[in-house]
Structure 1
Amino acid sequence: MTDNVRHAPQVHDGPSSRHPLVPYINAWSEEEDPPGKVIEIPGRGLVYADELVTDRDDRGVLWFRTISRPRQGRPNFQRVHPLRQRRAMRRLLCQVCAEPADVTEDGVLWLLKDQRTDWPDWPKGMGVTEPPVCLSCVPVAARQCPALRKGAAAIRARSFPVSGVRAMIYRSGPDGLNPIGEKNIPYGNSALRWARAMNLIRKLNECTVVSLEELCQKSK
């Protein structure tokens, strides 16, 4: 699978009619993490005690195990579902509805927290864990997403390779392995041996900031 794949999705679980504003990538209360004890193997790093082939991605990185029960229970807006986030990022699906993200000659559409004052060419070279969006979901995402309420920016990117993961890092201690914090880690970094991934990261390049107001008008 290429990093810039733009194929239409297969059957998916999009937002429900009962909770129409719950994004596809959000977790639900019935999606608690299944049991999975992590242990240390000298010379290899972090592994599950009962590890399966499906516990790692195609680059050998260990991921959090997840149960997929979308629309069951209550929406958890504080937690992103690792498997659905990873699927949306790999297939370039809208993070809200899981339909294909909007694409023009200027690139794929992302809706991000406005940080244009951070550096002159923002967001060039920035790693993002937020999947892209489709045109019709721009207004609701800008209005409902807590991270975007203080200011959103619409970005089109022509280049967006998969570059790494956001993961929980573990350290060996007297009482075994302990989680010490989350970190963005590029693929190929040795720290991945001690990490359990939760989000896929794409690196945005060849970026253009576009008018959010115009996009909202076009989506009607």
Structure 2
Amino acid sequence: MTVTQFHWRGLHVPFVAPWGEENPLPTRLIKRVGPDGAEGIGYADEVSGADRRDGALWVRYPLVRGRGKPRLADIHPLRQRQAMSHMLCMVCATSTFDNDEFSRWGGKHLFIGRAVDGRPIRDGDVTDTPPVCLPCAVEAAEACPHLVKGHTAALVERTEPWGVSGIVYDPRTLRPVSTKSKNGLTDVAFEDPALRWTLAARDVVTLHGCTPVDLAELATPSVAA
């Protein structure tokens, strides 16, 4: 998979970042009865096989990457889902299965995230952040405002689907349920009944076979070799 690389102020624009002309498409939500007989949200003009995945209704977004200015602090729902599903680097969109590091690391993928009280990435953690290749991880750790303040990294053997992150709607009023999260999204597991009332914006997975690593040491030739 070859993806055009865009740069902004000398840095890579992450593949998962939306651009100025990529905004949620206007839609009308309604109550609908699913195949299992349970009520949930749907689109008035829902397209079978296109608007849902694993039972979750997904937000509609245009795909016009490169148009306008990049919104580096945001995530494009469909590209995030693509990166997570195919284990693509969230920055350059190359496969983390095909790079040299994957073999050197014993068939593991690199994940990074903001450090929370110095806590490392652990087995069973849930995340909506796709993997990243080593060069892009180093660049992100040095340039991303969130990661510069503190980051944690781990080599991960595998991921498993867990659920989605999205906006949960009240079954009675069809109004968004308030949340304290900074991005306005709520993590909802696939087995949670709230899934059918959730407008998904990100795939969420669990991480397994995690080995915490120091990114600077990992990038040192003598260590990475």
TM-score by length of 1: 0.85
The corresponding residue for 1:155 is 154
| Letter in structure 2 aligned against 1:113 | R
- Quote the offset at 1:99 in angstroms: 0.5
Candidates 170, 193, 196, aligned match of 2:199: 196
Q: What is the rounded CA distance, in whole Å, between the counterparts of 1:129 and 1:16 in structure 2? A: 23
| Letter in structure 2 aligned against 1:178 | R
- What do residues 87-133 of structure 1 show as CA deviations (whole Å, max 9, x unaligned)? 00000010110011252216211111123644xx7422110111100
The corresponding residue for 1:131 is 130
Summarize the Cα distance change of 1:149–1:167 in structure 2 as closer, same or farther, 3 Å threshold. same
Is the CA contact 1:106–1:208 (under 8 Å) kept in the aligned structure 2? Answer: no
The corresponding residue for 1:3 is none
Instruction: Give the number of equivalent residue pairs.
Output: 204
Candidates 78, 82, 89, aligned match of 1:94: 89
Is the CA contact 1:46–1:194 (under 8 Å) kept in the aligned structure 2? Answer: yes
Alignment of 1:1-220 (within 5 A): 10-12=1-3, 14-17=4-7, 20-41=11-32, 43-53=38-48, 54-57=50-53, 59-101=54-96, 102-103=101-102, 104-105=105-106, 107-115=108-116, 117-118=118-119, 122-173=121-172, 176-180=173-177, 181=179, 182-218=185-221
- What do residues 57-112 of structure 1 show as CA deviations (whole Å, max 9, x unaligned)? 1x121000010111110111232000000000000010110011252216211111
Is the CA contact 1:62–1:196 (under 8 Å) kept in the aligned structure 2? Answer: yes
Q: What is the rounded CA distance, in whole Å, between the counterparts of 1:179 and 1:18 in structure 2? A: 34
The corresponding residue for 2:182 is none
Q: What is the rounded CA distance, in whole Å, between the counterparts of 1:31 and 1:106 in structure 2? A: 35
Summarize the Cα distance change of 1:194–1:144 in structure 2 as closer, same or farther, 3 Å threshold. same
Q: Which has more strand, going by share of residues? A: 1
Q: What is the rounded CA distance, in whole Å, between the counterparts of 2:117 and 2:131 in structure 1? A: 18
Is the CA contact 2:121–2:152 (under 8 Å) kept in the aligned structure 1? Answer: no
| Letter in structure 1 aligned against 2:28 | K
SS of 1:123's equivalent? coil
- 4+ long deviations beyond 6 Å: none
Structure 2 unaligned spans of 5+: 180-184
| Letter in structure 1 aligned against 2:114 | K
- Quote the offset at 1:135 in angstroms: 1.5
Q: What is the rounded CA distance, in whole Å, between the counterparts of 1:189 and 1:143 in structure 2? A: 38
- Quote the offset at 1:172 in angstroms: 3.9
- What do residues 161-181 of structure 1 show as CA deviations (whole Å, max 9, x unaligned)? 1211101100145xx411124
Q: What is the rounded CA distance, in whole Å, between the counterparts of 1:24 and 1:156 in structure 2? A: 21
SS of 1:140's equivalent? helix
- Quote the offset at 1:28 in angstroms: 0.6
Aligned Cα RMSD in Å?
2.0
